[in-house]
Amino acid sequence: MSEEFARLTIGDTTYKLPIIEASTGERAVDIRNLLKETGLITLDSGYMNTGACTSSITYLDGKEGILNYRGYRIEDLAENCSFTEVAYLILHGDLPTFEALKSFRQDMRRFALLHEDMIHFFDSYPPNASPMSILSTTVNALHNYYPEMNESEDPYGGYTVTAARLLAKTRTIAAFSYKKSIGHPLVYPSPRMNYCENFLNMMFDRPNLPYKIIPEAVSALNKLLILHADHEQNCSTSTVRLVGSSGANLYASISSGVSALWGPLHGGANQAVIEMLENIYADNKDFEKYISKAKDKNDPYRLTGFGHRVYKTFDPRAKIIKNACDDIFEILDINDPLLDIAKELEERVSNDQYFIERNLYPNVDFYSGIIYRAIGIPTNMFPVMFALGRLPGWIAQWTEMKEDRTRIGRPRQLYIGHPQREFIAIKDRG
Ligand code: ACO
């Protein structure tokens, strides 16, 4: 806590509000006692200014375009680590030793299977069922088969086991949801493959047509999952914390996070980007039509993949993904017209006063869909890929919330409806 105070004057009374300092220097006015002392609440729809917790997982500086997990730069992690290594870092707070990583990888293999009874769930969905809906409900149902353990029940670290299970099984559920959506037989996880290889194999292996692992695809997938692994208090993570704050179990909380991620303003954006680029392409590359629609205040249309609540200079993840995009297209010798459309759209937007004035730059979703396409992931699976990447972050944030003994989340409101009025029985209402 800093020595400084903010002063709030209401009428004749001045209140002193403590200033709290973050380890990286940002400061916050502590209003936790505001209601008790002044009788007033604060109003902050969309939580533009409200810090909901303290956290030691992810540091983000939107002005400088900095993103660190547990103190490590995202650029270093994306360049040098596997997703499993980063997941360990996010969950445990430190990079793993060689032995710890080996054991964590074994957990990913050991826990990869689903209880065989759960396989029937996949048969109950209609054809073309949305993979995001299957993911959300099946993750929730894991609780019935693998009740979470806490540390006191389990000498090997209960939550650690539950977290490893969730990571391993959610990958299996994600791949099964895709196989189900195209009516193909499910491919079970292999005990011989690493995390990303296993996922790609479960997605693309077919009877009589074995999937050949492409190292460049594995490496691109690792990078994308790392870049999505946590992003502090966004909509889905806040949902996970809020649901968990009621005492709901980890699976239920993560399942709610999946639902929150689904929307096109959040994790559904990568799918919407591809649809937007396809529309521009099909419309004879009429960029101006779409840019004008996005600028028209009477039209709700937006250029998906541009803008971010916290990044106001650039999104560091978008920068890494754009470079990765060029690399993978060159290595795999792919020619996708949507990549050219994306680059031209970015160029036009970067020179347009409307977007410049509002600090609207490409976000993580702008180029990620193009890479997913390049490695064969279908568009309706993009939000699922995002969820898979975000999983370590959600689990770590949920665990931190528990450890901090956070109170149940319960925002206030300003009521603007009718004052109390007299009830009139239906026979007298006319
Ligand atoms: N296209 C056109 N105009 C936009 C866009 C866009 N993509 N994004 C913001 N604006 C405009 C708004 O109309 C508003 O203009 P105004 O000040 O004249 O009213 C201004 O920029 C500020 O926008 P807000 O909606 O107030 O910004 P907010 O922080 O609430 O929203 C969001 C951020 C949701 C990401 C927004 O920029 C958006 O809708 N982008 C497109 C969807 C998208 O790409 N989402 C993925 C985000 S990244 C992620 O979740 C991983």
- DSSP class per residue in 12-37: TEEEEEEEEE-TTS-EEE--TTHHHH
Sequence spans of domains, the chain: 5-66, 71-266, 269-374
CA–CA separation, 206 and 253 (whole Å): 33
Tokens 């979703």 appear where? 365
Give yes or no for a contact between 265 and 421, defined as CB atoms under 8 angstroms apart: no
User: Looking only at Cα atoms, what is the longest distance across the chain?
Assistant: 81
Task: Say how many Å lie between the CA of residue 277 and the centre of ligand 1.
Answer: 18
Q: Which of 291, 358, 367 to mutate to test the pocket of ligand 1 (most atoms within 8 A of CB)?
A: 358
Tally of CB atoms within 10 A around 262? 21
Burial readout 35-50 (b: 16 or more C-beta within 10 A, e: otherwise): eeeeeeeeeeeeeeee
Interval between CA 382 and ligand 1 midpoint (Å): 20
Residue bearing the CA closest to ligand 1, atom 22 = 358
Whether 51 contacts 241, CB under 8 Å: no
pLDDT digit of tens for each residue in the chain (430 aa)? 667 899 999 999 999 999 999 998 899 999 999 999 999 999 999 999 999 999 999 999 988 999 999 999 999 999 999 999 999 999 999 999 999 999 999 999 999 999 999 999 988 888 888 899 999 999 999 999 998 877 666 666 667 889 999 999 999 999 999 998 888 999 999 999 999 999 999 999 999 899 999 998 999 999 999 999 999 999 999 999 999 999 999 999 999 999 999 998 889 888 889 999 999 999 999 999 999 999 999 999 999 999 988 888 888 998 898 888 888 888 888 888 998 999 899 999 999 999 999 999 998 888 898 899 989 999 999 999 999 999 999 999 999 999 998 899 999 999 999 999 999 999 999 8
Collapsed DSSP state (helix, strand, coil) of residue 9? strand
H-helix or E-strand spanning residue 7: strand 5-10
State the DSSP H helix or E strand holding residue 69, giving kind and residue range, or none if neither: strand 66-69
Fold of 71-266: Citrate Synthase; domain 1 (1.10.580)
Q: Which atom of ligand 1 is nearest to the CA of 294?
A: 2
Pocket of ligand 1 (CB under 6 A): 265-266, 269, 294, 302-309, 358, 360, 363-365
Say which CATH architecture domain 269-374 belongs to: Orthogonal Bundle (1.10)
CA of 308 to the centre of ligand 1 (A): 6
Question: Whose CA is closest to 194, among 85, 69, 93?
Answer: 85
Q: Which atom of ligand 1 is nearest to the CA of 309?
A: 29
Cα–Cα distance measured from residue 60 to residue 234, given in angstroms and rounded to the nearest whole number? 12
Residue 399 backbone dihedrals phi, psi, to 5 degrees: -65, -40
Residue nearest to atom 17 of ligand 1 (CA): 358
Q: Looking at ligand 1, which atom is closest to the CA of residue 235?
A: 50
Closest ligand 1 atom, residue 234 Cα: 50
| pLDDT for the residue 325 | 84
Protein residue with least CA distance to atom 41, ligand 1: 304
Chain center to CA of 290: 27
For residue 94, give the 3-state DSSP assignment.
coil
For the beta carbon of residue 334, count every other beta carbon within 10 angstroms. 13
Catalytic residues: 308, 365
18 forms bridges with which residues in the sheet?
5
Topology (CATH level 3) of domain 5-66: Rubrerythrin, domain 2 (2.20.28)
Q: Is 58 within 8 Å of 231 (Cβ atoms)?
A: yes
357 C-alpha to ligand 1 centroid (Å): 13
CB 251 within 8 A of CB 142: yes
Six-digit token string for 396:
């770590």
281 C-alpha to center of ligand 1: Å?
Answer: 23
Return the best residue to mutate from 48, 50, 265 for the ligand 1 pocket (most ligand atoms within 8 A of CB).
265
